Amino acid sequence: MLGRRKDMTRARCVHIGLAAAVALAFCQMAGAAPAPQDAAAQAYDAQDARLNTAYKALSKSLDDAGRQALRAEERQWIAGRDQSCGVPAGTAVKNECTTTQTSFRADELTSRLKQATPASSATASSAAGTSITGDWGYRSDCNLGHSAQLGVTASSATAAEGTWSDGTRVSGNQGKFKGEWRQGKLYLRFCAEDAERGGYPVCPAFSDVAAYVAPEGKRLTWFQVDGPASEGTFSKYVTLDRVPKGGRAPLDKPCKDGQ
């Protein structure tokens, strides 16, 4: 009788031990596989860390005015990202949309850091900034017609801003731009008055760098991003002539800018 009780007790212990082992294994499996929301948060945090690193490095390469402009730009970018991703104001959401947009922004700031203007070019940028203030335009009647305009309302050694328009006789858009001088080129970010599929964000949110203009003699040449913005590749778009107040851009009769 005593032997039978010992056997039953031993069996119960073995059963309890197996149950505990199985429970422990399930706990370890649960701990090894992060929840989907944890994985999304980790992906976002990685891109956010990249963005913070690029932002701090770029900020250090700028003067006081440049840093102030960069801070304002970053606030506008955050507002634009959250609007695009449907994030309520004042909240932080770590999902695929915010992660992707943060990744693009980190790439863009990293690219800008590589092309940061050396201090020695500040004088040249200042001269260029002063000389381009005013209205610039392109006009053609070829095919559906094409007109493009930049109105530079303010420009300094480090930054510029103004208005833009671009379109044909059947479609087009307009809005505002902000620019940053780097090595004699004014890199532009745009916002649009009207929402347009595949177009620029609606003002006051601004795009990433989408173009640059460079003075060439008495004219201003406009280059657009060609391919992913992170690659920093641009191709010539149009050449702008200075437009007198109340006047119109010269008509490009030979369509030499390919329009």
The per-residue pLDDT for 122 is 47
Question: Does the pLDDT value for residue 1 go beyond 70?
Answer: no
| Whether residues 131 and 198 fall in one domain | yes
Give me the percent of the chain exceeding a pLDDT of 90: 37
CATH number, domain with residue 163: 2.40.128
Any domain includes 251 = no
| Whether residues 45 and 68 fall in one domain | yes
Q: What are phi and psi of 179, to 5 degrees?
A: -130, 155
Identify the domain boundary among 116, 140, 165.
Answer: 116
Q: Quick one: which of 157, 167, 176, 171 has its CA closest to 238?
A: 167
Any domain includes 69 = yes
The per-residue pLDDT for 12 is 52
| Whether residues 227 and 157 fall in one domain | yes
Count of domains observed in the chain:
3
| Whether residues 209 and 225 fall in one domain | yes
The per-residue pLDDT for 15 is 47
Mean pLDDT of 68-94: 87
Q: How far are the Cα atoms of 49, 153, 193, 211 from residue 174, in angstroms, in the given order?
A: 35, 15, 6, 15
More confident residue, 15 or 202: 202
Q: How far is CA 212 from the centre of its chain?
A: 15
The per-residue pLDDT for 84 is 85
| Whether residues 133 and 235 fall in one domain | yes
Token duo for residue 129: 């900034």
Q: Quick one: which of 160, 142, 140, 158 has its CA closest to 150?
A: 160
The per-residue pLDDT for 16 is 47
Question: Does the pLDDT value for residue 254 go beyond 90?
Answer: no
Lowest mean pLDDT among 26-30, 60-64, 134-138, 222-226: 26-30
User: Would the CA dihedral through 224, 87, 72, 107 be positive or negative?
Assistant: negative
Residue 230 DSSP one-character state: G
| Whether residues 196 and 137 fall in one domain | yes
Residue range(s) defining the domain that contains residue 87:
36-116
More confident residue, 174 or 257: 174
Question: Does the pLDDT value for residue 91 go beyond 90?
Answer: no
Any domain includes 174 = yes
User: How many helices (H) and strands (E) would you count in the chain?
Assistant: 5, 8
| Whether residues 24 and 87 fall in one domain | no
Any domain includes 247 = no
Token duo for residue 234: 């641009």
Question: Does the pLDDT value for residue 29 go beyond 90?
Answer: no
Any domain includes 256 = no
Question: Does the pLDDT value for residue 222 go beyond 90?
Answer: yes
Quick one: pLDDT band at residue 256, thresholds 50, 70, 90?
low
| Whether residues 44 and 149 fall in one domain | no
Any domain includes 155 = yes
Question: Does the pLDDT value for residue 134 go beyond 50?
Answer: yes
Any domain includes 249 = no
| Whether residues 111 and 59 fall in one domain | yes
CATH number, domain with residue 67: 1.20.1270
By the 8 A CB rule, do 99 and 40 touch? Answer: yes
| Whether residues 45 and 135 fall in one domain | no
Mean pLDDT of 141-166: 91
Give me the percent of the chain exceeding a pLDDT of 70: 76
Measured distance CA(243)–CA(239) in Å, rounded: 12
SS in 3 state form for 167-193?
Answer: ECCCCEEEEEEEEEEECCEEEEEEEEC
Identify the domain boundary among 88, 116, 144.
Answer: 116
Q: Quick one: which of 132, 179, 187, 134 has its CA closest to 159?
A: 179
Identify the domain boundary among 71, 90, 116.
Answer: 116
Lowest mean pLDDT among 7-11, 32-36, 37-41, 58-62: 7-11
| Whether residues 135 and 238 fall in one domain | yes
| Whether residues 152 and 186 fall in one domain | yes
Question: Does the pLDDT value for residue 131 go beyond 60?
Answer: yes
pTM above 0.85, yes or no: no
Measured distance CA(26)–CA(166) in Å, rounded: 61
Quick one: pLDDT band at residue 121, thresholds 50, 70, 90?
very low
Any domain includes 252 = no
The per-residue pLDDT for 160 is 93
The per-residue pLDDT for 45 is 94
The per-residue pLDDT for 189 is 96
